[in-house]
A = this chain, B = another copy of it.
């Protein structure tokens, strides 16, 4: 039996797993995510020792990762940048260590063991604080020329839209991420709708996506309308990706996948309305992720066999 180890580095914790050929987790371990370069390498090496024995090791990290396993920019990690995680851990551990972006790892996991099994062309979209992505095209996990493929959250969908921390305006994740949902809700409240939500929360600036979800589940029509608008923005980006990549399936993950029942209807409705040439093509399936919070670690364990 081949055992593949994977570690998912998150903003707050690092989750390590050892996975068998069927994607079943046979061991796991976790540590808080440390601050700083040396501490990061130390914690990852410690997790690797704790997970041993295994036949291969892959690591998923949030941010831009080069083809040779260097983490360039990582906005959600503290004091970590330009860190050659792959080469330095390989040297310390004495065996190869494959490294890639965490959303790419989640895509790999859902492709091999989750909602995207069997697809040759699949796009994974993680709707969380931001939007991450991973692309399977032509039966291969795509990394791009430099390892940075799949930064789909920063597709500009409205050049005069709200500013994005990336320095531009109107990035897709300003509308279609979890924080984008909160922003849409705040905009609606400021425009005088969502009275009930506003009353419960107290002030416009404190309204979050979760408040909107609660109201929608109570049948608040205005909250449902904001969720419909949110579904339109999600669909707009999915349609753009369809025009470029023509996948047979989108797998939607991230925090919003937990409440998929609220979102799937609006997203599907708008997807069909916005699709280019809808009468002349099969429509890609829209599915929510199946592997939950372990997708990143499971996907990291697949990197050694998928990176080409």
A contact set with B: CB distance below 8 Å = 64, 72-73, 119-121, 133, 135, 137-138, 140, 142-160, 166, 168, 236, 239-241, 243-248, 274, 276-277, 280-282, 284, 308
Contacts and interface: CB of A to CB of B under 8 A. Distances in A.
20 contacts: A64-B280, A64-B281, A73-B277, A120-B145, A138-B138, A143-B246, A146-B246, A149-B246, A150-B244, A150-B246, A151-B243, A152-B243, A156-B157, A156-B236, A156-B239, A156-B274, A157-B157, A158-B159, A158-B160, A159-B236
B274 A138 contact: no
A284 B73 CA distance: 18
Contact of A168 (B138, B168, B274): B274
Contacts of A138: 137-138, 140, 142-143, 308
Nearest to A232: B159
B135 A244 contact: yes
Number of identical monomers bound together in the oligomeric complex = 2
Q: Which of A147, A240, A274 has the most CB of B within 10 A?
A: A240
B144 A246 contact: yes
Contacts of A166: 276-277
A276 B154 contact: yes
Contacts of A168: 274, 276
Given A149-B246, A150-B244, A280-B64, A158 B155 contact: no
A247 B285 CA distance: 26
A142 B151 contact: no
A146 B244 contact: no
A157 B237 CA distance: 10
A144 B281 CA distance: 12
A251 to B, nearest CB: 14
B145 A72 contact: no
A244 B159 contact: no
Contacts of A64: 277, 280-281
A236 B154 CA distance: 11
A236 B158 CA distance: 10
A100 B243 CA distance: 16
Contact of A281 (B72, B156, B245, B282): B72
A168 B276 CA distance: 8
